[in-house]
Structure 1
């Protein structure tokens, strides 16, 4: 260790000691104040503030900061050392400079955006643009209140080149557990730009596998809550993720950033509850088994149910059906509460079509029927004698109830059934030419589902759209910000519907077209989503650098993309080298040979330095069979299926489509031969997803011939089993 490094280490050790002492002092004072449990509102607010500070200080004590930047602001005589942490630490005296600056503060943006050089820098603060010069940028690792690492990535006037990647590579080389981690200490400049983007825009992020797009989106939520704390609340934010297991996997990031109460749901769970159709939802495993069980087939076309039901064409059909129902909403009948008293149809129609025209169709119906009820009450008042009034009132109640039943049902499910001819009164809802535009297979399968009381995932966006058209959206249902993860699997209609549930088009939409393995739904180009918004309402960002896998794994995966996917978006790896990908031919493609090869690979990888090892199969059925065959030898082997809501880490076997978004120290692709994978883009994307789950080690097992996109991987792979 050089003298300069030793000096920096001593300096930071002294600083850490003083900061920890200050944290202890402030925490001790707060804990000395008795917890208020009374009913006085002012005292309750004060106690809530004290408790928030207690928790924040206790949480920051093990790792109070992670970086330092010496910044000389314009007009100042010298540079001031600024320490950056996950949470801020105020000085003891009011008005004093913070001891630690929150990573979300404006000045902290310099720590992420500055990459070297002696040019003047600027950042945007509430009081305007502030400029100056950076003298030092230093990464600091503190674990359990102990100083572990000090790395200078820039020294002004220094002769040594910047080593900005050294600290990043050190963090990337760490092994994986069963949770996604925050990246506050290693946020890169292009990621920081997305995190700090303005609130009222739909951000579309195309991020290659391992680019950190999910983590960036979570950090963006934390930033928005800090930057716009008077305008947004955590309770009014929501993250839509692909499945419950993935939600569990990412669940630790926001609490680590000091953020709680943000909703984290799957779209199916949220929509099903809002529409009150949870009991009708089909098991999503049925859909997955159908599509992913077809080995080597061509990717589904635009007539697949998910693609069609998420299209603009289908949305126009929904508009037409809702409009037709709305126009014919008021039944062409006069209303007579008792003999001799009549409310003309023309009056009822005027109320419905003119006076309440600014309400939704369901709202109009509700208000017209309420007004008829009030009209009855007014007409009853002058009736004499009392016995006659009671007789009329009883008769009016019966006729009012019968009249209300003659109004159409404005529930979205009823109209949806009418659109697909799954209800008796379906005729006339859609013009014949529109009805004929529904693909025959979609019409047949959907009609069967609806008649049997079954709703599938791809039906939910349409039902939500009809719900909004017919009944409007309650204020309590609106969000301040929506994050959509794996957005390439969302349809344009899904996003269009969600846009009606969020204020100011405030979205973070992230995904990777190269990982679009759910080809039976979703989008094939980001323009399908950006076209939903005005040019000033959207912003597109591309993250092409992969921080997850080694150079060898990324190079191998890129060959799959370039050889199997048109217009592929390849990843650029960070300079982190490891073992070559191992391609192992286990001979004849049989289940027994597949099991033997998987077992041999597990023996070689599990129990070494890897904490998480996964075996990825083509289908859930294959995963279950492989698990049953391997568990006698590996009792700790976990089987993962779509019903799981927790990822336990360790050794696991799962179908490839459930691995999206997850990371493992080592990945074993079980039987990547032609028995499971053909030459289609769909197959190439599926194998690309599987390969890019691996951080450090990737083994691809196959029996004999492989798909054509695996023909040119020699530069990045070794063949055969490793030497003992």
Structure 2
């Protein structure tokens, strides 16, 4: 009797075996890195330290995260991509490259060119891909797969269920990467060349922040050597936002990307004061750059006395008019103040050397340097081109009415000068109550004196809230590099919020940047985005209304209550949201946050503050409306929309703040209110159970 033939493993078992083998190969790669012995391969201890640091970074990047799948997709090409046929035509696509002991790839980095068809291939343009396979995971365990036969004309094109499930997967904690769900229009932005600046106008839920972060990861892969020298930077609106996104790049294998706020970039002084809206608006205006340019050069004086340089037994005289010509030439060249000040003694010394040569001497560069260092030349430089301390200069500008009037003549109006002039002049830089806008002015003055260093690439998120002067501050950090600018004009909530990307990009110094618009949302439910979009005619009528590929995975309710019942209703809504899977955000006007915190504590509901979402033990975050931008929660409870609007200087800004708050929900939104809703949101329906807009399958209660 013959033995039964062995049963071939199922496709799912085969994929699980490849996952296990890939994890084993990754562990071997890490072990190889840990076993490297560099004791006899470096010339000195400095090289040894540098090499050891690089090895440690390599070891760190090879960590196998148990709950993070090594690969999420597979491509089967119709033809062999390698002419020699060494690697075949099947590639597993993942977050990082993994190879076996022979160097053959087991997982291909999602950023590699061979991986791009995973995101771009369609039935109309299969890009030589016969099969695209997506994998489903549960806690790091491979549980499902789904195939698309792109070259089969008989197979209908359908929406991927695994892709939809990954997009809608509940989130607890910080933002995660979207590498498994990048859409074709997002992928085109991610892979745009380093040389060009890209501006992404993105409606809520379109993934613009994730696109920006994945673009950094892609650029570091494609242009690693160049960016390793020049550096990269991610600029966010506040520290809470940066803590929320800080895990995305490490998950993609990029550990060394600096993150900062604009305030941190310009932290030349301690910020302790707060400007009113009028003062902040003037200080943020690009015209202040002209005022500062005048002020920096205001101390330059033309010489009135000739220069006499004594060398040995000879005296060399340079008349005042010739010294004046040298000073004027440097002014006309319009180079930075500090560079001109450094050039001035050399230019004066050169004039002395010309006289020496005319007298028959043969001075060299050492003589010129010696003349430039003589007390007589130093005295002329000090008199004609005095040193400028940027902070002291701005202090004088803001506290000396006459100086401010002189420097801003023809640039600012009398009312604008009055708005920014300090009522009580500070006695010194350290005692001044500097505002955030003042720090930006000091940064501008610093750059007028000495050039700010430029990075290779800067990602600027929530850019719509920057003032022109803040754009200039960021632009200085990428003056010789490129930028990715991310924002949504409808979410601008500062008095100086950007009205057009063309103007913003000009202030940034990137007027030729390409502007891309993302309007299709992937995470905000369709009913929620439709409800929030009712505000667009008032806050950004020029923008296209956002759409969403999602129906609500949870619920959407607008709940009117009596004023005396508001607090209890909010607590009940939070308690109800916590019965569902995922994170919960309670968003309210800033002034109402302390009272709600006390109510939650009295109800026994522990909560976090924005940026603390990595903490364990609480899924509820109490979010001031001013910090909600850029954050996402599976379920949002929005307390008193009218108070959110009233908390801003004007109605339009308030409605924009409300638009932001409404669009933080990924699965469910409950709006709880006692005061009447803003007119554009009122009257959506009448009576209990009315449906909202295009919401499908949503149970909605409206005022």
Normalising by structure 2, we get a TM-score of 0.81
Give how far 1:601 is off: 1.6
Q: Is the 8 A contact 1:595 1:630 kept in 2?
A: no
> What residue is the counterpart of 2:416 in the other structure?
439
Q: Is the 8 A contact 1:180 1:250 kept in 2?
A: yes
Q: Is the 8 A contact 2:170 2:634 kept in 1?
A: yes
Give how far 1:504 is off: 3.8
> What residue is the counterpart of 1:684 in the other structure?
655
Give how far 1:45 is off: 7.1
Q: 1:564 to 1:599 in 2, by over 3 A?
A: same
Indicate which of 571, 585, 607 corresponds to 1:599. Answer: 571
Q: Secondary structure at the match of 1:59?
A: coil
Deviation digits for residues 674-724 of structure 1 (CA, Å, limit 9, x no counterpart): 7954993323211111111111111111114221011243332756599xx
> What residue is the counterpart of 2:451 in the other structure?
472
Q: 1:455 to 1:409 in 2, by over 3 A?
A: farther
Q: Secondary structure at the match of 1:654?
A: strand
Q: Is the 8 A contact 2:307 2:380 kept in 1?
A: no
> What residue is the counterpart of 2:400 in the other structure?
422
Deviation digits for residues 465-495 of structure 1 (CA, Å, limit 9, x no counterpart): 232223333xxx2211111110001123332
Deviation digits for residues 355-412 of structure 1 (CA, Å, limit 9, x no counterpart): 7957522233344468889999xxxxxxxxxxxxxxxxxxx97996798377544233
Give how far 1:334 is off: 4.9
Deviation digits for residues 585-626 of structure 1 (CA, Å, limit 9, x no counterpart): 1123xxx543222222222222x124422221122x211122
Deviation digits for residues 252-309 of structure 1 (CA, Å, limit 9, x no counterpart): 011111112211111111111xxx32x2x135xx45xx77xxxxxxxxxxxx444433
> What residue is the counterpart of 1:104 in the other structure?
111
Q: Secondary structure at the match of 1:248?
A: helix
Q: Secondary structure at the match of 2:446?
A: helix
> What residue is the counterpart of 2:360 in the other structure?
none
> What residue is the counterpart of 2:601 in the other structure?
631
Q: Secondary structure at the match of 1:634?
A: coil
After TM superposition, the structure 1 stretch with the greater mean CA deviation from structure 2, 346-355 or 59-68, is 346-355
> What residue is the counterpart of 1:89 in the other structure?
98
Give how far 1:536 is off: 8.4
> What residue is the counterpart of 2:589 in the other structure?
618
Q: Secondary structure at the match of 2:659?
A: helix
Q: 1:194 to 1:403 in 2, by over 3 A?
A: closer
> What residue is the counterpart of 2:499 in the other structure?
524
Give how far 1:565 is off: 4.7
Give how far 1:505 is off: 4.7
Indicate which of 198, 211, 215 corresponds to 1:216. Answer: 211
> What residue is the counterpart of 1:556 in the other structure?
531
After TM superposition, the structure 1 stretch with the greater mean CA deviation from structure 2, 83-92 or 105-114, is 83-92
Q: Following superposition of structure 1 onto structure 2, how do residues 323-402 of structure 1 map, counting pairs within 5 Å?
A: 325=298, 328-330=300-302, 332-334=304-306, 344-354=319-329, 359-368=335-344
Give how far 1:210 is off: 1.3
Q: 1:243 to 1:367 in 2, by over 3 A?
A: same
Give how far 1:251 is off: 0.7
CA distance in structure 1 between the partners assigned to 2:41 and 2:102 by the alignment: 29
User: Is 1:59 matched up with 2:29?
Assistant: no
User: Is 1:15 matched up with 2:18?
Assistant: yes
Q: Secondary structure at the match of 2:213?
A: helix
Q: Following superposition of structure 1 onto structure 2, how do residues 185-334 of structure 1 map, counting pairs within 5 Å?
A: 185-233=180-228, 236-272=231-267, 276-277=268-269, 279=270, 281-283=271-273, 286=274, 304-322=278-296, 325=298, 328-330=300-302, 332-334=304-306
Unpaired segments ≥5 residues, structure 2: 1-8, 353-373, 686-690, 693-697
CA distance in structure 1 between the partners assigned to 2:644 and 2:631 by the alignment: 25
> What residue is the counterpart of 2:636 in the other structure?
667
Indicate which of 566, 573, 588 corresponds to 2:548. Answer: 573
CA distance in structure 1 between the partners assigned to 2:400 and 2:460 by the alignment: 32
Q: Following superposition of structure 1 onto structure 2, how do residues 141-220 of structure 1 map, counting pairs within 5 Å?
A: 141-142=136-137, 146-157=141-152, 159-220=154-215
Q: Secondary structure at the match of 1:709?
A: coil
Q: Is the 8 A contact 1:486 1:512 kept in 2?
A: yes
Deviation digits for residues 532-583 of structure 1 (CA, Å, limit 9, x no counterpart): 5899831111111112222222222122334665334422111333344211
Q: Is the 8 A contact 1:69 1:81 kept in 2?
A: yes
User: Is 1:540 matched up with 2:515?
Assistant: yes
Q: Is the 8 A contact 2:303 2:380 kept in 1?
A: no
Q: Could you say what the CA RMSD is over the residues aligned between the two structures, in angstroms?
A: 4.0
Q: Is the 8 A contact 1:565 1:681 kept in 2?
A: no
Q: 1:450 to 1:354 in 2, by over 3 A?
A: same
CA distance in structure 1 between the partners assigned to 2:56 and 2:614 by the alignment: 32
Q: 1:157 to 1:646 in 2, by over 3 A?
A: closer
After TM superposition, the structure 1 stretch with the greater mean CA deviation from structure 2, 501-510 or 200-209, is 501-510
Q: Is the 8 A contact 1:56 1:87 kept in 2?
A: no
> What residue is the counterpart of 1:383 in the other structure?
none
CA distance in structure 2 between the partners assigned to 1:414 and 1:196 by the alignment: 45
Give how far 1:203 is off: 0.8
Normalising by structure 1, we get a TM-score of 0.79
Give how far 1:170 is off: 0.5
CA distance in structure 2 between the partners assigned to 1:195 and 1:438 by the alignment: 45
User: Is 1:411 matched up with 2:389?
Assistant: yes
Give how far 1:200 is off: 1.8
Q: Is the 8 A contact 1:637 1:653 kept in 2?
A: yes
After TM superposition, the structure 1 stretch with the greater mean CA deviation from structure 2, 20-29 or 462-471, is 20-29
CA distance in structure 2 between the partners assigned to 1:536 and 1:71 by the alignment: 41
CA distance in structure 1 between the partners assigned to 2:475 and 2:421 by the alignment: 30
Give how far 1:216 is off: 0.9
Q: 1:443 to 1:177 in 2, by over 3 A?
A: same
Deviation digits for residues 174-201 of structure 1 (CA, Å, limit 9, x no counterpart): 2211201011111111111111001122
CA distance in structure 2 between the partners assigned to 1:402 and 1:346 by the alignment: 13
Give how far 1:630 is off: 2.9
CA distance in structure 2 between the partners assigned to 1:488 and 1:593 by the alignment: 37
Deviation digits for residues 509-554 of structure 1 (CA, Å, limit 9, x no counterpart): 0000111122x12311112124458998311111111122222222
Q: 1:512 to 1:579 in 2, by over 3 A?
A: same
Q: Is the 8 A contact 2:505 2:511 kept in 1?
A: no
Give how far 1:458 is off: 2.4
CA distance in structure 2 between the partners assigned to 1:457 and 1:12 by the alignment: 54
Q: Secondary structure at the match of 1:135?
A: strand
